[in-house]
A = this chain, B = another copy of it.
Amino acid sequence: MYRTHTCGELSLKDLHKSVSLSGWVQRIRNLGGMTFIDLRDRYGITQLAFNMETNAGLCEQARKLGREFVIQVKGEVVERYSKNKAMPTGDIEINVTEIQILNPSKLPPFTIEDHSDGGDELRMQYRYLDLRRNPLQQNLRFRHTLSIEVRNYLHKEGFLEIETPFLIRSTPEGARDFVVPSRTNEGQFYALPQSPQQFKQLLMIAGMDKYFQIVRCFRDEDLRSDRQPEFTQIDCEMSFVKQDDILPLFEGLFKHLLHVTKNVDVDDFERLSYDEAMKYYGSDKPDLRFDMKFVELNELLQHKDFKVFNDAELILGICAEGCGSYTRKQLDELTDFVKRPQIGATGLVYILCLEDGNYKSSVDKFYTHDDLKDVAVKCQAKTGDLILIVSGKQEKTQKVMGELRLEMGQRLGLRKPNVFKPLWVVDFPLLEWDEETQRYYAKHHPFTSPKLEDIPLLETHPEKVRANAYDLVINGTEIGGGSIRIHDHQLQKKIFHTLGFTDEEAERQFGFLMNAFQYGAPPHGGIAFGFDRMCSVFNGMDSIRDFIAFPKNNAGRDVMVDAPAPISPQQLDELNLKAITKK
């Protein structure tokens, strides 16, 4: 037995016990007469004490240990002279009588502390050392707890976790598949699932009623920052349900999760239609931790002498409370912000609501004091506030203002990491028109049900058809989304037609699923949540990578194991493949 206790559990109630501990040497302090070692394991840190006077040999031995050596010690629990109230074990230390080095350690390439001195790439390469650091240990512990709570909640609600296959068939819709060559079926490939979408619908046809799975998914996309080629999804599907059966159940899940993992109780989730979300926040994933709703100013600001506004399809304002004393420099920063190529506005109009009741604006010469006052009233701006205005084409203006709103929320400290404002965005459009290919694409996926009352519009105004689709958004991040699926074979055919599929193409790509729908598919719907993202949003953090034990870097490489890597010519030959070089 290597230990009687962990490094996180001894306290004054254990005084004078003979114990043995095992762990890593975190720090050695040689104070001359006394030497102290902080011994660390997953559970905490315990101080080891060595006295030069009473046991010089052992003390010398302790001083020779290095950082991250793995040792086992035996000794007695004694009360500390100077206690550390910040540590659970801070009242005691171990009067060590015996040390055994279980394994020495080379000097780590960076410090194993809460704030490490190692760069990103180095820490990725030695991920196993980076993971020893407390923040990452906590992250993985959090992820574990979250998964246990998700499973137990859904289990209690009658869901069955059912594993679906990873070696499936490639489908051309959606993102690019990773494929797996089959050795025994020459010229054929499996695909790794982008999600278990088709299988979970088949499970509903199979009568499983309520399914979930916490499951790895794969997408061979050109990687953007903070995207991973493999990611984890909480995937759910239910039969005999409508949207109003699904949303409350998963609202309950998230209330439960926030309660048990963050000790936060949230109100019933707000619901916004997609149109409202775009109108008021310029985003289908608005951050509702702060208000700052868009105000439409077309009526007030058009038909005066300012051509920019007169030509605009949409003029939007927001009121930034307490920013009425912004300097020229600060206002220029905001202008620069909206003009960044990623945002792409051509300009920014401001109205400072001065303390003396006057307004100072970048468009003073076009508008009277009363004009500006009308705007201030409509924007509910008070003395000392700042009104920011952008204009242009509708969609673009909404997007720009959405970004500006988030920036102002950030500047004003309104995006607090410990505040949680979940909401449902509903009534998404069913279809999206793609200019390039001149066809409609399914906004969610081709199995999403349109709202029944909108079906007649499929023939005349496909772009106006709303879907029974919904997203869960928390603090400006899309956490998950889902829809009621089409269970009617005829309607599914119609949608495929609208999407520009011929019967043959639909048959080739979705044939077996279309066939399955003809054997008594129940009405069903579901939702999927990004588990990595949930972990980061729950902790008020931006990066998902810190919640994944062994993530890939931005180029999709695992720099620790150095993958991907070449395989042997024999391996390739067995797979009936030949590498071609394009360079």
Contact = CB atoms under 8 A, between A and B. Distances in A.
Interface of A: 1-3, 6, 22, 24, 40-43, 68-70, 102-106, 108, 126-129, 131-132, 137, 140-141, 143-144, 147-148, 151-152, 155, 160-170, 172, 176, 178-192, 198-199, 202-203, 205-210, 216, 218, 220, 222, 229-230, 232, 240-242, 245, 487-488, 512, 516, 518-523, 548-550, 552, 555-558, 560-568, 571, 573-583
Given A179-B575, A229-B167, A512 B581 contact: no
Nearest to A203: B549
B140 A24 contact: no
A549 B204 CA distance: 12
B161 A144 contact: yes
B128 A206 contact: yes
Contact of A567 (B106, B151, B170): B170
A238 to B, nearest CB: 10
A191 B581 contact: no
Contact of A548 (B69, B151, B163, B179): B163
Contact of A165 (B43, B166, B230): B230
B582 A186 contact: yes
A218 B166 CA distance: 9
B240 A22 contact: yes
B222 A128 contact: no
Secondary structure at the A interface, as helix, strand, loop or mixed, is: loop
A99 to B, nearest CB: 15
Copies of this chain, count: 2
B522 A102 contact: yes
A373 to B, nearest CB: 52
From A164, A185, A567, A578, residue with most partner B Cβ within 10 Å: A567
A208 B170 CA distance: 37
Given A1-B242, A148-B155, A186-B581, A558 B167 contact: yes
B160 A521 contact: no
A555 B522 CA distance: 32
Contacts of A24: 207, 520, 522
Given A209-B42, A581-B187, A488 B519 contact: no
A372 B43 CA distance: 65
A203 B180 CA distance: 27
Nearest to A183: B220
29 contacts: A22-B522, A40-B207, A41-B209, A70-B522, A70-B523, A106-B519, A127-B202, A144-B162, A152-B152, A165-B552, A166-B218, A167-B564, A169-B561, A169-B562, A169-B564, A169-B565, A176-B183, A176-B574, A178-B180, A179-B181, A179-B567, A179-B571, A180-B564, A182-B556, A186-B581, A189-B564, A189-B566, A512-B562, A576-B579
B182 A564 contact: yes
B41 A521 contact: no
Contact of A140 (B108, B162, B185, B561): B162
A566 B188 contact: yes
A516 B179 contact: no
A583 B106 CA distance: 54
A548 B199 CA distance: 13
B518 A106 contact: yes
A247 B170 CA distance: 43
A170 B565 contact: yes
B183 A161 contact: no
Contacts of A185: 556-557, 564
Nearest to A161: B144
